[in-house]
């Protein structure tokens, strides 16, 4: 719609006393403070249903991780009796019992903490490393780029699971939650780095960066104001998906015997234990998988909404 | 009439003022896989306060590259400034530190670009981007920056500025986007504004509005305007002086009236002849024959000689004025007129 059209429409609206919303762009005349990218993005996020579904689910699992007792209805996950081994779900025990005869709802609820901590901690480390290394590499180019890219290639040559397995087997870090998260992040940051690097290179040569330079913006300002906001959107989406991959990778490491150790409780341990009894007690795989899937979905939905909010062209 | 710049003595109403921007013997080359490309080969010009200098030339004549060199936005490498000085208020920008250069850009010299949509960051509202100029250079608060942005948007005649300040670049039409660019460029009252084909991407009526706006702003602020364009009509309407570029050199310069009225260089003559005229409706346009020069192997002697209808070669040419061998210097032909042709007097008909 041309400006003339818009001006005409506005005039018509005033005369008719109606508002179509077409003539007046969405503004909040109450605020006279300059909106930043993030405050505008937040305004946008608030109106996104997908974001709220993701946020509510995410909050639910976060609360579950923080206060498992509330969600397990006060049942101790370690209060087990072999006489109830593998019992199917009932109205009394919603998720049934596992092979050891422990209440499965309590176990799944208590698993949230470790799985979430590992997923979130590892993804935060991945994001930090990816953004910092990728931005430096893409922005400065030259030998810095060559060096950092080759380092990333070296890490790429080691598969995530194998690399994490070696690190955890070495006993450097121990076998705790933090150790698993760091081991996973150490071999998982390269894709994020490459995403950021390629975005930075693309944005760096854009006209608006040249324009900003011509208007006297400093390197730091260009990097923070122009390049990073345009470069982080894809990596945020990648990160949300990666949370799920990392939680699954934790399960794999656990299955291989180098991740979390019993008596720790995690969804990975539960799925791995449950798959051996898939035919006689399918609920042992079903419930932790379901919760795991919902957790991953919550993050993916929030990531999707965030990407849309950060790109004004996607806004309706 | 123009001010007394470009070493052109003239009776200006504004009186002679010292040049604000002085480009001296600027040379830029690009190192590419297929050899050296000589984009700018010894360009000199000056811009005084309130003066409009048009740099006229076809694609690849080096007009934009010389502007990018002034703004420090050439990608180096592959580009390389091999010689020359860019004097701004008596200081050479090319030898100044990066920080000093940065401080000149924006408050001293500013630039608007051809494609306003790609020159604006898509993720920020236009008001934020205009306000950014104040925040980056003066540390203005966000609240004040927004107020100043609205004032500027009013000044560049964006309707309903207060309502549109939070809109994003893609929500504006082409002409309005260019106005936003102009608002950013003039935010800090620069003494020189470089406009690199500011109207090329716009339709004709909007072109006229944008040029009018630039002229009005110039009259209000007294800034010098460097207008880089290939549009002869735009030059004719707004510029005081014009420098015609060919193959990275200035081949002719003088006041717009002089140069357009009676060219002193065969290339300019060819350009004038190629303008569609209302009187010549139905007739054929007269193109300049041949191809624009390849900048990695510029013809010897006068770079225009392979296309020049007035060239003199071999026995025809007097010694030292052989078009394929002797490079014609940019010389004063008649008072107020400079041209780089061995036979300018003949072209002029004096």
What confidence score (pLDDT) does residue A148 get? 92
| Tens digits of residue pLDDT in A199-214 | 888 888 888 888 888 8
Q: Is residue A130 a part of any domain in this protein?
A: yes
Contact between A215 and B121 using a beta-carbon 8 Å cutoff:
no
Specify the DSSP element, H or E, that contains B83: strand B79-88
**Angle CA B257–B263–B267, to nearest 5:** 130
Q: Which residues of B touch A44 (CB under 8 A)?
A: none
Number of domains in chain A: 1
Query: For the residues A3-15, what does the mean pLDDT come to?
Result: 52
Q: Which residues of B touch A36 (CB under 8 A)?
A: 128, 142
Contact between A225 and B125 using a beta-carbon 8 Å cutoff:
no
Interchain CB contact of A211 with B (< 8 Å): yes
Contact between A34 and B167 using a beta-carbon 8 Å cutoff:
no
Q: Is residue A291 a part of any domain in this protein?
A: yes
Q: B257-292 b/e with 16+ CB inside 10 Å = b?
A: ebbbebbbbbbbbbbbeeeeeeeeeeeeeeebeeee
Sheet holding B241-246, edge to edge: B109-112, B192-196, B224-229, B52-56, B241-246, B249-255, B337-339, B331-334
- Closest-CA distance, A173 to chain B, in angstroms, reads 42
**In percent, how much of chain B has pLDDT > 90?**
0
SS3 content of chain B, % helix, strand, coil (to 5): 35, 25, 45
Interchain CB contact of B59 with A (< 8 Å): no
Q: Is residue A299 a part of any domain in this protein?
A: yes
Helix ranges, A141-172 (H):
142-157, 160-170
- Closest-CA distance, B200 to chain A, in angstroms, reads 16
Q: Is residue A76 a part of any domain in this protein?
A: no
The bridge status of strand B91-92 relative to strand B35-48 is unpaired
What confidence score (pLDDT) does residue A33 get? 53
Sheet holding B35-48, edge to edge: B35-48, B19-32, B79-88, B91-92
Contact between B118 and A208 using a beta-carbon 8 Å cutoff:
yes
- Chain B interface test: which of A5, A29, A34 (most B C-beta within 10 Å): A34
Nearest to A312 among B143, B162, B168 (CB): B168
Report the SS3 class of residue B84: strand
Q: Is residue A41 a part of any domain in this protein?
A: no
Give me the residues of chain B with pLDDT under 70, please.
1-17, 280-281, 350
**CATH (domain of A266):** 1.10.3720.10
Please report the DSSP string for B125-174 in residue order: -HHHHHHHHHHHHH---HHHHHHHHHHHHHHTT-TTHHHHTT--GGGS-H
What confidence score (pLDDT) does residue B101 get? 82
**In percent, how much of chain A has pLDDT > 70?**
86
Q: Is residue A261 a part of any domain in this protein?
A: yes
Interface of B with A in 144-183 (CB under 8 A): 145-147, 149, 159-160, 162-168, 170-173, 175-176, 181
Q: Which residue has the higher pLDDT, A55 or B317?
A: A55
Is the per-residue pLDDT at A28 higher than 50?
Answer: no
Interchain CB contact of A43 with B (< 8 Å): no
- Chain A interface test: which of B123, B134, B170 (most A C-beta within 10 Å): B123
Contact between B128 and A36 using a beta-carbon 8 Å cutoff:
yes
Q: Give chain B's length.
A: 350
Q: Which of the four pLDDT bands, split at 50, 70 and 90, describes residue A35?
A: low
The bridge status of strand B52-56 relative to strand B224-229 is parallel
Report the SS3 class of residue B20: strand
What confidence score (pLDDT) does residue A4 get? 54
Q: Which of the four pLDDT bands, split at 50, 70 and 90, describes residue A6?
A: low
Q: Is residue A288 a part of any domain in this protein?
A: yes
Query: For the residues A84-90, what does the mean pLDDT come to?
Result: 76
| Tens digits of residue pLDDT in A119-177 | 889 999 999 999 889 988 988 888 999 999 999 999 888 888 888 888 888 877 777 88
- Closest-CA distance, B292 to chain A, in angstroms, reads 26
Cα separation, A70 vs B98, in Å, equals 60
Contact between A208 and B127 using a beta-carbon 8 Å cutoff:
no
Q: Please report the beta strands in B256-309, taking only residues with DSSP state E, as ranges in sequence order.
A: none
What confidence score (pLDDT) does residue A56 get? 92
Range of the domain at A183: 46-67+96-314
Q: Quick check: A250 and A118 in contact, CB under 8 A?
A: yes
Interface of B with A in 184-223 (CB under 8 A): 184-185
| Tens digits of residue pLDDT in B249-268 | 888 888 888 888 888 888 88
Interchain CB contact of B139 with A (< 8 Å): no
Query: For the residues A110-126, what does the mean pLDDT come to?
Result: 88
Contact between A313 and B111 using a beta-carbon 8 Å cutoff:
no
Nearest to A35 among B120, B125, B175 (CB): B125
Query: For the residues A250-258, what does the mean pLDDT come to?
Result: 78
Cα separation, B262 vs B253, in Å, equals 12
What confidence score (pLDDT) does residue A92 get? 76
Report the SS3 class of residue B110: strand
Tally of helices (H runs) and strands (E runs) in chain B: 12, 12
Q: Which residues of B touch A25 (CB under 8 A)?
A: 163-164, 166-167, 171
Q: Quick check: B42 and B251 in contact, CB under 8 A?
A: no
Q: Which of the four pLDDT bands, split at 50, 70 and 90, describes residue A37?
A: low
- Closest-CA distance, B246 to chain A, in angstroms, reads 25
Cα A54–chain centre separation: 11
Q: Is residue A12 a part of any domain in this protein?
A: no
Is the per-residue pLDDT at A48 higher than 90?
Answer: no
Cα separation, A268 vs A252, in Å, equals 7
Q: Which residues of A touch B128 (CB under 8 A)?
A: 34-37
Contact between B132 and A217 using a beta-carbon 8 Å cutoff:
yes
Contact between B146 and A32 using a beta-carbon 8 Å cutoff:
yes
In degrees to the nearest 10, what's the CA dihedral of A41, A44, A46, A52?
-90
Report the SS3 class of residue B26: strand
Q: What is the pTM of this model?
A: 0.68
What confidence score (pLDDT) does residue A147 get? 93
Cα separation, A294 vs B328, in Å, equals 77
Is the per-residue pLDDT at A21 higher than 50?
Answer: no
Contact between A312 and B122 using a beta-carbon 8 Å cutoff:
yes
Interface of A with B in 233-292 (CB under 8 A): none
């Amino acid at each position: 719609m041309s400006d003339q059209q818009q001006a005409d429409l506005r005039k018509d609206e005033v005369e008719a006393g109606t508002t179509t919303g077409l003539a007046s762009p969405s503004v909040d005349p109450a605020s006279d403070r300059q909106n930043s990218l993030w405050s505008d993005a937040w305004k946008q996020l608030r109106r996104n249903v997908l974001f709220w579904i993701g946020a509510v689910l995410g909050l639910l699992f976060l609360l579950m991780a923080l206060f498992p007792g509330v969600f397990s209805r006060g049942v101790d996950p370690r209060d087990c009796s072999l006489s109830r081994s593998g019992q199917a779900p009932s109205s009394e025990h919603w998720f049934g019992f596992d092979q050891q005869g422990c209440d499965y709802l309590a176990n799944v609820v208590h698993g949230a903490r470790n799985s979430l901590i590992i997923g979130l901690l590892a993804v935060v480390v991945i994001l930090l490393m990816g953004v910092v290394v990728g931005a430096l590499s893409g922005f400065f180019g030259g030998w810095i780029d060559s060096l950092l890219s080759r380092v990333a290639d070296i890490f790429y040559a080691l598969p995530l699971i194998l690399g994490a397995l070696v690190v955890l087997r070495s006993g450097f870090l121990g076998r705790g939650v933090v150790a698993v998260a760091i081991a996973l992040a150490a071999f998982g940051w390269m894709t994020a780095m490459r995403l950021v690097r390629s975005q930075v290179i693309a944005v760096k040569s854009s006209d608006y960066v040249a324009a900003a330079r011509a208007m006297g913006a400093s390197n730091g300002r260009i990097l923070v104001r122009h390049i990073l906001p345009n470069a982080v959107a894809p990596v945020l989406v990648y990160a949300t998906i990666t949370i799920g991959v990392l939680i699954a990778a934790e399960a794999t490491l656990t299955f291989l015997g180098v991740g979390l150790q019993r008596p720790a409780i995690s969804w990975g341990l539960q799925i791995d234990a449950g798959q051996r009894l898939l035919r006689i007690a399918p609920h042992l795989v079903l419930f932790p998988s379901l919760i795991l899937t919902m957790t991953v979905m919550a993050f993916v939905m929030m990531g999707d909404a965030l990407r849309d909010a950060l790109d004004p062209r996607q806004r309706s | 009439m123009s001010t007394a710049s470009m070493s052109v003595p003239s009776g200006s109403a504004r009186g002679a003022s010292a040049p604000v921007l002085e480009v001296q013997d600027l040379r830029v080359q690009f190192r590419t896989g297929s050899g050296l490309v000589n984009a700018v080969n010894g360009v000199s010009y000056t811009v005084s306060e309130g003066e409009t200098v048009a740099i006229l030339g076809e694609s690849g004549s080096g007009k934009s590259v010389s502007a990018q060199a002034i703004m420090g936005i050439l990608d180096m490498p592959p580009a390389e400034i091999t010689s020359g000085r860019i004097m701004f208020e008596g200081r050479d920008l090319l030898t100044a530190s990066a920080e000093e250069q940065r401080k000149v850009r924006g408050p001293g010299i500013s630039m608007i670009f051809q494609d306003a949509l790609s020159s604006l960051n898509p993720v920020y509202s236009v008001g934020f981007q205009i306000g950014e100029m104040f925040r980056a250079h003066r540390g203005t608060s966000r609240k004040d920056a927004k107020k100043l942005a609205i004032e500027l948007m009013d000044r560049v005649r964006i309707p309903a500025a207060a309502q549109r300040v939070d809109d994003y670049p893609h929500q504006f039409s082409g002409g309005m986007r260019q106005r936003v660019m102009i608002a950013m460029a003039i935010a800090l009252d620069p003494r020189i504004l470089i406009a690199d084909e500011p109207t090329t991407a716009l339709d004709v009526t909007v072109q006229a509005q944008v040029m009018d706006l630039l002229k009005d702003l110039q009259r209000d602020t007294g800034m010098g305007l460097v207008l880089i364009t290939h549009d002869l009509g735009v030059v004719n309407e707004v510029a005081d002086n014009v420098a015609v570029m060919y193959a990275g050199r200035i081949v002719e310069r003088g006041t717009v009236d002089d140069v357009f009225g009676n060219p002193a260089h065969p290339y300019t003559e060819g350009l004038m002849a190629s303008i569609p005229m209302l009187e010549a409706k139905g007739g054929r346009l007269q193109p300049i024959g041949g191809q624009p020069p390849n900048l990695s192997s510029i013809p010897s002697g006068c770079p225009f000689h392979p296309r020049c209808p007035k060239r003199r070669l071999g026995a025809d040419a007097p010694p030292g004025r052989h078009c394929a061998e002797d490079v014609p210097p940019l010389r004063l032909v008649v008072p107020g007129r400079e041209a780089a042709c061995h036979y300018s007097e003949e072209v002029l008909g004096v």
